Structure 1
């Protein structure tokens, strides 16, 4: 099979290993206490449910959290999968690699499955070769910025924000104060972070309201927005202007086993502040000129990654400026939330015909905590209402519905953005209405 699907799994059903926590643990900043580590582990294990979408068709799933079979049965019906073997609840309080190491029968089952194996990202458990060295280098927003700066002159339409690397946090606070005094908004970054952790937009008013940049940094650490130790990067804020149609976009690609770079596509991301919420991909989602600019630059990034030994999925994230130029902000050398949207779109286009738009919604709030049966009953009532809009409802993250702040991850597939917007609004209203379940108890 040609193209990215062939390079990824050869077009075959695959073993999907949800090792999100393992990947993230490689970049945990020093000084993070046990309580925060535990919270981040639980969050990563919820996000690992996206393992259902690590390729267009799973044959075997390894998931850290326990899931109900109603979930995979729902997806298998809609996506016309064959039988899916599920090994869940393997790593409630540890990484997946550690759990598999303690389960020789599971390790043997994976090795002897006869299917290609795909993971969220590469870790030392997969071997310490050039691939892992490239991951650890370019997952850094400082190293990625260096690469962007080197490549940008050959790519019209690309602008690279200025980045400062102060020596120590005190100097970073002084530079942040000086920038605020000049009326400049700053993107404050830790070199490593996922899903928005370790990145925050700091406006001058934020610095003054906190009583200075030092006090602001301490507040951001207490709020678990920034890590407690380690270097900080100060990056120029890219202003999109008041009428920006597209603010955040990403371009996904992969480096095949032979080092060939394969384009996948562009997606429009939904970002609240700096926190990633989901993405939409499909015909017309990203304007053609922006998609082509992003594609050319992302493929150039991929060629450099391939030359340094990287093999696997990656993306480049961008923001747009007032002149509609694209400013690259980071490289993710792993699967991502948007990658799942591409996998689902590929599968739906194959089994139902081309032309789908797919939108992932990673953390839709729920108005009440729900057990598995109640969650699926709730979603099942919404399924026909979405279908009347021409939209297919796909549950992706069901395990967080009983959290103190419950949410569910979903995907929507439909013919156009208007249908997806309508279905999303319907779901948001229905989720919020769950608060009424407890009104009679007041």
Structure 2
């Protein structure tokens, strides 16, 4: 099989390990306390439900959080999967690697399945080597910027944001204050961070309201936006262009086992501040010119990653400036939310015919906390309403529905952006309307 699907799994059904927490944990700050570590593990366990979309067809699915069979049954019908063995609730408070170490029978089942094993990303559990070294190197936003700097002269259509690396946090606070005094907005980054953690946009007014750079840093650590220790990067904030939908772009690709780089595609991300919310992928989701620019630069990045020993999925994220030039901001050497959208689009195109746009919405708020069965009923009521718009509703993250701030992760697949917009508005209104159901009971 040609293309990225062949390079990824050889077109075969695969074992999907929901080990998002395992990948994230290797980059936790050393000073993180036990309570914060547990919170971050559990947040990652919700996101690990995206393991249903690690490849076009799962054969075995291993999830840290408990899920109901109705969820995977729904996806299997819509995506024409064969039988799927589901092992859920295996690691509510641990990493998946720790859980599997205590379950030798499940570990043996995975090893003997005959299917390729797909993970969120490379971790020490798979052993040291060039691939893990490349992950550790280029997941750093400092090392990624160095690579972008080396490649940028060959890509004049790319705009490279300036980055400062102050020596120590006091120096970082002073530089942050100096930039704010000049009226400059700054993107403040920890070298490692995922899902928006470790990255924040600092407006001058926010810094002065906090009482200066040092006071702001203390507040960001206290609210768990930044780690308590370690280096900080100050990056130029690229002012956005007029097209809000095209502010944050991503381009995904796969480095195959032989080191060949295979393009996957461009996506238009939804980012609130610095927190990724979802993405739209498929024909026309990103204008042809921007997609071509992102493709050329991302493939050049991939060739460098491959030369350093990396194999697997990666992406490069970009922001657009006022002139609609692309500015690269980071490399993700792992699966991501957009990767799942691309996989779903490929599967739907294969089983229903080409042309699908897919929008993932990773954390749509719910108006009330729901039990899993009640969430399933709620989504079942929305399914035919979306279908009337020509949109297929796919539940992706069902486990966060009973959190203090309840949410659900969904994918919408349809023929065009307008249909996806209409379905998203419908679902958002219905989710918000859940609050009214409980108000009536008071």
Q: Is the 8 A contact 1:17 1:61 kept in 2?
A: yes
Are positions 1:79 and 2:72 aligned together? no
Partner of 1:143: 143
Q: How does 1:7-406 map to 2 (within 5 A)?
A: 7-244=7-244, 246-406=246-406
Structure 2: how far apart are the matches of 1:243 and 1:72? 37
Shift of the alpha carbon at 1:243?
Answer: 4.7
* TM-score of the two chains, using structure 2 as the length reference: 0.99
Residues 8-49 of structure 1: CA distance to partner in whole angstroms, max 9, x if unpaired? 011011000011000000000122122111111110000000
**2:245–2:268: 8 Å Cα contact kept in structure 1?**
no
Unaligned runs of 5+ in 1: none
Contact 2:255 2:261 in 1 (8 A): yes
Q: Residue 64 of structure 1: CA displacement?
A: 0.3
RMSD: 0.8
- Partners of 2:160 and 2:45 lie apart in 1 by 34
Partner deviation per Cα, 1:322-368 (whole Å, 9 max, x = no partner): 11110000000000000000000000000000000000000000011
Distance in 1 of aligned mates of 2:375 and 2:240: 38
- Tell me how far 1:156 sits from its aligned partner: 2.1
**Secondary structure in structure 2 of the residue aligned to 1:153:** helix
Which ranges of structure 2 fall in alignment gaps of 5 or more residues?
none
Query: Equivalents in 2 of 1:244, 1:70: separation in Å?
Result: 37
* SS at structure 2 position matched to 1:50: helix
CA contact (8 A) 1:244 1:322 kept: no
| Aligned-pair CA distance for 1:377 | 0.3
Equivalent residues in 2 for 1:403-418, closer than 5 Å: 403-418=403-418
Q: Counterparts of 2:19 and 2:213 in 1: how far apart (Å)?
A: 36
- Residues in 2 aligned to 1:15 and 1:34: alpha-carbon distance in whole angstroms: 31
| SS at structure 2 position matched to 1:208 | helix
Q: What secondary structure does 1:99 align onto?
A: helix
Q: Partners in 1 of 2:47 and 2:118 — Cα distance?
A: 16
CA deviations 1:266-311 (Å, max 9, x no partner) are 0000000110000000100101010000000000000000000000
CA distance in structure 2 between the partners assigned to 1:18 and 1:65 by the alignment: 9
**Rounded Cα–Cα distance in structure 1 between residues aligned with 2:107 and 2:10:** 22
2:428 is equivalent to residue 428 of structure 1:
yes
- Measured in 2, the distance between the counterparts of 1:258 and 1:423 equals 41
Moved more, 295-304 or 23-32: 23-32
Q: In 1, Cα distance between the equivalents of 2:123 and 2:149?
A: 27
Deviates more, 1:25-34 or 1:291-300: 25-34
Secondary structure of 2:440 counterpart:
helix
SS at structure 2 position matched to 1:378: helix
Question: Deviation at 1:244?
Answer: 4.9
Separation of aligned partners in 2, 1:217 and 1:154: 37
Does the aligned pair in 2 maintain the 1:357–1:415 contact within 8 Å?
A: yes
Q: How far apart are the structure 2 equivalents of 1:127 and 1:334?
A: 16
Asked whether the 8 Å contact 1:195–1:275 carries over to 2, the reply is: yes
CA–CA separation in structure 2 for the residues paired with 1:85 and 1:169: 49
C-alpha distance in 1, partners of 2:426/2:204?
A: 38
Determine the C-alpha separation between the residues in 2 that align with 1:437 and 1:30.
45
Partners of 2:345 and 2:145 lie apart in 1 by 31
Q: How many residues align?
A: 442
Q: Distance in 1 between the 2:271 and 2:405 partners?
A: 19
